[in-house]
Amino acid sequence: MEDEIKAEFNNSGFIFDKEKEILQKCSTFCINFKLTPTDLVSSWEIYYLNRQINGTVVEDAEMDGFLGYLQSQQKVAIDEKELDLHIYSSRDVDMILNDEDEDIREDVLGTPPPFKSQNHYSEPSDSTPQTIGNISSGKPSKLATPFGRRTDKLVVKFSINNKPNTENREKEDDNENHEDDDVIRKVKPGKRCSLIVHGSGPEIGCRFMYDRIEDRFNALENRISKYATALVSSGQYEEPLDPTVSSQKIIFTVGMIYCDGEGHLNEKSTLLQSSAEHSGGQRVRIELQNLSQFSIFPGQLVGIEGINPSGHCFIASKLVDSIPLPIADDANLPPAKKQALDQEILSVGVSGTQPELSVIIASGPFTTTDNLLFEPLRELLAYASKTLPQLLILLGPFIDSEHPEIKKGTVDRSFDEIFRSEILRRLQDHVEYMGSHARIVLVPSIRDANHDFVFPQPAFDIHPANLRHQITSLTNPGIFEGNQVKIGCCSVDILKHLSGEEISRNPKDGKLSDRMSRLANHIISQRSFYPLYPPAEGIPLDFSLAPEALNISLIPDILILPSDMKHFVKVLPLGERGEEKEQVKCICVNPGRLAKGEGGGTFVELNYYGNPDTCNASIIGI
């Protein structure tokens, strides 16, 4: 074979620099890739032209690159062979559901058998069987994608079990009797959850990119003033004074942390800007040497005790980075800031009863980077149809502007068409199958190609027919209640942004603090979903657009902060409240991303029973 390979190269006008080594490698290529010497040389000519190699010498140094080229060509050939899809329209689906063409049903990928009503359904056949315990989400399909060929499916990566979930066990036992997806079955009705949206975010269709310097100044000034007022109102601190005035007396002041320069914050570049009322908005350098511990970042509101002997440097002796934040009752909120989505079920939350909620939380992207088939979303909905959560919370991006096909513009549909056909239609099918008790909450992302690129962000403009009380879109960020459980969510990756800007010092004889818990605590202690200022690069922060939308008006029971950082579920201690010293806590959830590259990511299943200390939560790999 080596002689034949050499003859083919010579016939094409090529010579070798290390003949023996090259011929041995080429012989191996022919065997491994099932190529004839003629095919091998043809492939080399293409590789030679693509790499724009000068001369006619086949060099041994190029063999590794040539091997990579052969491997990529083999992968393309396999994908072309396996991606033999039937492209069908909504008319095809109607024909299938109406039993007009039995043959088509066998050919269409993942087409469910027909159902006779919204409560009769046979779940779609997904790319591969998905199992968790005894739950299976579908049959193998003809489509072989990297996501479909994965081996670890629906694996619990982390769990908190503070209370036995007998209800879910009953659901799993019931599902054991329905392993055959070809059996048309009726979903057992579940408990419908109430839903109330708090706050007033940007309106759908609002104008943005009109904020002025004055708007930014007023927004930051209001934050400092409100923070100072809250500290003084707590009765633990005196009225703040001007930190820029030299004084040998210990004073208390309130302001915002800034960085002296364009680089990252450090102990030597830390500035404090007080309010215009107290210091005319002037800044002064802060000396942190006397503090045993701290955690600060640009834009953070703090109260500081210390002295300024020279007028140029404020020497801090105590730093206060949080204030008591009482849990607000619904009755204390302005009616304009509370929207009841379904008045008929608000009486569910009877006084004295403990709020309970079962929820699945997932954050986009919802499709892998190698296609726009949205396989992870299909798998998630199949899992939800088995476990029957009261609420499904989905945070963007849904149509990810960072997806390779979206960035290149190779799709043949508009972004809005993709969103409505691949996302909304699947969700509508899901709630129609599940029945009237199913509820879905959508939160957009600034990475959504089909939505406004601004933060804070208005809700999606969706009006699903007859499903208005089942599929709800919130602003980003947003706060709402499900069965009296207060939930706050923000799809901007504030944890990652804070992680890159925060500096901290731990006490020398104390144990190290959990960094993720510390970063999440900043969100609540600052009363803001995005306390960082200036914002991270690429964040279209608009201060003229609903300036109150970023404020956290009450402590959420569950705080959802999707991030590219490692997934987690943590119970955050937030301090004591009231004369009885009641411990206030919050569950912080980073569900991770449902799709990561060409593979699956993670989502969170959570069951809440009365308070954060009695809940079950699992992080599950899709």
Q: Tens digit of pLDDT for each residue in 125-151? A: 343 333 443 333 434 444 578 888 888
Closest of 328, 319, 329 to residue 231, by C-alpha: 319
Distance of CA 480 to the CA centre of its chain: 18
Domain-wise residue ranges, the chain: 1-84, 195-206+354-503+512-621, 237-320
Q: How far apart are CA 384 and CA 441, in angstroms?
A: 14
pLDDT band at 510 (very low <50, low <70, confident <90, very high): low
Strand, coil or helix: 411: coil
* Alpha-carbon distances of 543 from 220, 263, 535, rounded to whole Å: 9, 24, 12
- Stretch among 93-107, 299-313, 503-517 having the lowest mean pLDDT: 93-107
Q: Extract the runs of DSSP E, i.e. beta strands, from 55-101.
A: 57-58
| Residue 403 binned pLDDT confidence (cut-offs 50, 70, 90) | very high
Contact 572, 322 (CB under 8 A): no
Q: Do 195-206+354-503+512-621 and 237-320 have matching folds? A: no
Q: What CATH architecture is 237-320?
A: Beta Barrel (2.40)
Distance CA 419, CA 413 (A): 10
Token pair belonging to 414: 């508009």
Do residues 380 and 395 touch, judged by C-beta distance below 8 A?
Answer: no
Check whether 380 has a pLDDT greater than 60: yes
Rounded to the nearest integer, the mean pLDDT of the chain is 81
What pLDDT was estimated at residue 116? Answer: 36
Q: Say which amino acid occupies 581.
A: K
pLDDT at 382 (0 to 100): 95
pLDDT score, position 278:
84
Q: How far is CA 598 from CA 148, 365, 372, 398, 432, in A?
A: 10, 11, 11, 16, 30
pLDDT in tens, 63-115: 888 888 888 788 777 655 554 444 444 444 454 555 444 443 334 334 344 33
Residue 578 has pLDDT above 90, yes or no: no
pLDDT at 529 over 90: yes
CATH class of 195-206+354-503+512-621: alpha beta
Other residues' Cβ atoms within 10 Å of the Cβ of residue 102: 10
307-329, pLDDT tens digit by residue? 999 989 999 999 999 876 554 44
Helices (H), 212-266: 213-233
The tens digit of pLDDT for each residue in 243-297 reads 999 988 999 999 999 999 888 999 999 999 999 888 888 999 999 999 999 999 9
512-536: average pLDDT: 92
DSSP string, 99-121: TS-HHHHHHSTTPPPP-SSTTEE
